[in-house]
Amino acid sequence: MTTTEPKYDHLVTKKQVIVTCGTGGVGKTTIAASTAIAAAKAGRRAVVITIDPAKRLADTLGIDQLGNTPTIIEGPWPGTLGAMMLNSKATFDHVVEQHATTQDQLEQILNNRFYINVSSELPGTQDYMATEKLYQLHTCGQWDLVVVDTPPTRDALAFLEAPKVLTRLLNNTIYKMLVSPRPLVLRTVSRAAGLVVRRLSRVVGAEVVDDAIEFFQTFQGMEEGFKQRSAAALTLLTSEDSAFVLVASPRSDTIAEARYFLSRLDEASLTVAGVVVNRVLAALSASAADAADISRHLQDTPLAAAAQALTDHVKAAAGDDNRIEQLMVYAPNATLIKIPLMATDVHDLTKLSHLAELLTSNSPEETTDT
């Protein structure tokens, strides 16, 4: 069987950035961690940036909320494995530090209440800081591959859009007006902009608006650096060096979400290199006809319930297959990897390592009969 499809091990050995996306709860963080392990097994220096990992996974990976730099995880692999949990606020502070022109400017921004809110609470900030962190790790020279687990969101593009939001804001007329010295603002403020400020003040309170104005005034001079960095991160993410992996489960609601993700990525001309369908029911050697046969034979015997369970499983597995096939219509060029539903959660290194093996050995091209 010849194919030009990029197999998962190709992604793991050749790409410099892998972004796992998908709705929450499907196993995105687990797949991101296993992907980095697969790369370490292939001898690469791989680091995974996780977002909100389950407590036990965070413990396994030796990461906690406080650290904002990778921890090295020792294991039986020739490469290097690093893991970290994204801390948006610390990452944002670091970017501000890098771009601030004076110590005064730096301190004023870090202590500004508007900045404190934006850097820690705004939903888009986590997306934006994930791209920032990924760009830092990519350019620092210590890693061959950066795997990024994206924040849970309904929109696949939120992650790519976040840096653009800032650029758009910085180019906005109202923003420009707000940052001009106050007396001038009062004189030249356009009626529309004045209305916006007054409305905002009524809704969020005048102090909040004052904090914001003070922040943007202090921020002046740093815009260029921020814009350039966002643009560079975006260029990296849309280049050949980066790959998007969609994680989904075979349940019909998550398949529908996954389809939406794929259509959004397609609209942005981004291709998905891999689709990982996680928690697939184990395939049994029994066909639907076999199961029905067995059920008939065992009818009215003490084994009737077991036979029924077999029939149900075969039916559910066929349903999974059907839905996965429908999903792949939307990603015809992506490698499909099916990861079985494990008996227990995947929280220790042995299980993650097993998952890494499954990811790289489970490409459909390799399962042809010999």
Ligand X SMILES: Nc1ncnc2c1ncn2[C@@H]1O[C@H](COP(=O)(O)OP(=O)(O)O)[C@@H](O)[C@H]1O
Q: Which residues bind ligand X (CB under 6 A)?
A: 24-30, 54, 278-279, 339, 341-342, 345-347
Question: Nearest approach, Cβ of 248 to ligand X (angstroms)?
Answer: 10
Choices 22-30, 40-48, 295-303, 360-368; region in contact with Mg ion by CB under 5 A? 22-30
The whole-angstrom separation of Cα 297 and Cα 351 is: 39
C-beta closer to Mg ion: residue 88 or 218: 88
C-beta closer to ligand X: residue 30 or 360: 30
C-beta closer to Mg ion: residue 29 or 136: 29
C-beta closer to Mg ion: residue 15 or 28: 28
162 binds, among Mg ion, ligand X, none (CB under 5 to 8 A by kind): none
In angstroms, the Cα distances linking 294 to 126, 207, 306, 310 are 53, 73, 10, 9
Question: Nearest approach, Cβ of 337 to Mg ion (angstroms)?
Answer: 18
The whole-angstrom separation of Cα 149 and Cα 320 is: 25
Cross-strand bridge partners of residue 272: 244
The whole-angstrom separation of Cα 91 and Cα 95 is: 6
Q: Which of the residues 255 through 274 are near Mg ion (CB under 5 A)?
A: none
Question: Nearest approach, Cβ of 274 to ligand X (angstroms)?
Answer: 15
Q: Enter the tokens of residue 252.
A: 């019909």
Choices 23-31, 285-293, 298-306, 343-351; region in contact with Mg ion by CB under 5 A? 23-31
Q: According to CB under 5 A, which one of 20, 23, 29, 91 is a site residue for Mg ion?
A: 29
C-beta closer to Mg ion: residue 28 or 338: 28
C-beta closer to ligand X: residue 30 or 335: 30
In angstroms, the Cα distances linking 177 to 77, 190, 220, 221, 227 are 56, 9, 12, 15, 19
Question: Nearest approach, Cβ of 74 to ligand X (angstroms)?
Answer: 21
One-letter amino acid for residue 335 of the chain: T
C-beta closer to ligand X: residue 65 or 173: 65
Contact 47, 87 (CB under 8 A): no
147 binds, among ligand X, Mg ion, none (CB under 5 to 8 A by kind): none
Question: Nearest approach, Cβ of 240 to ligand X (angstroms)?
Answer: 27
Choices 20-28, 233-241, 249-257, 331-339; region in contact with Mg ion by CB under 5 A? 20-28
Question: Nearest approach, Cβ of 249 to ligand X (angstroms)?
Answer: 9
Question: Nearest approach, Cβ of 55 to ligand X (angstroms)?
Answer: 10
Burial string for 220-246 (b: 16+ CB within 10 Å, else e) reads eebbeebbebbeebbebbeeeebbbbb
Question: Nearest approach, Cβ of 304 to Mg ion (angstroms)?
Answer: 41
C-beta closer to ligand X: residue 278 or 335: 278
# binding residues, Mg ion (CB under 5 A):
2
Q: Which of 368, 365, 360, 358 is nearest to 279 (CA)?
A: 358
C-beta closer to ligand X: residue 133 or 229: 133
Choices 24-32, 127-135, 243-251, 275-283; region in contact with Mg ion by CB under 5 A? 24-32
Question: Nearest approach, Cβ of 29 to ligand X (angstroms)?
Answer: 3
Q: Is 23 in the site for Mg ion (CB under 5 A)?
A: no
Q: Could you list the residues that contact Mg ion (CB under 5 A)? A: 28-29
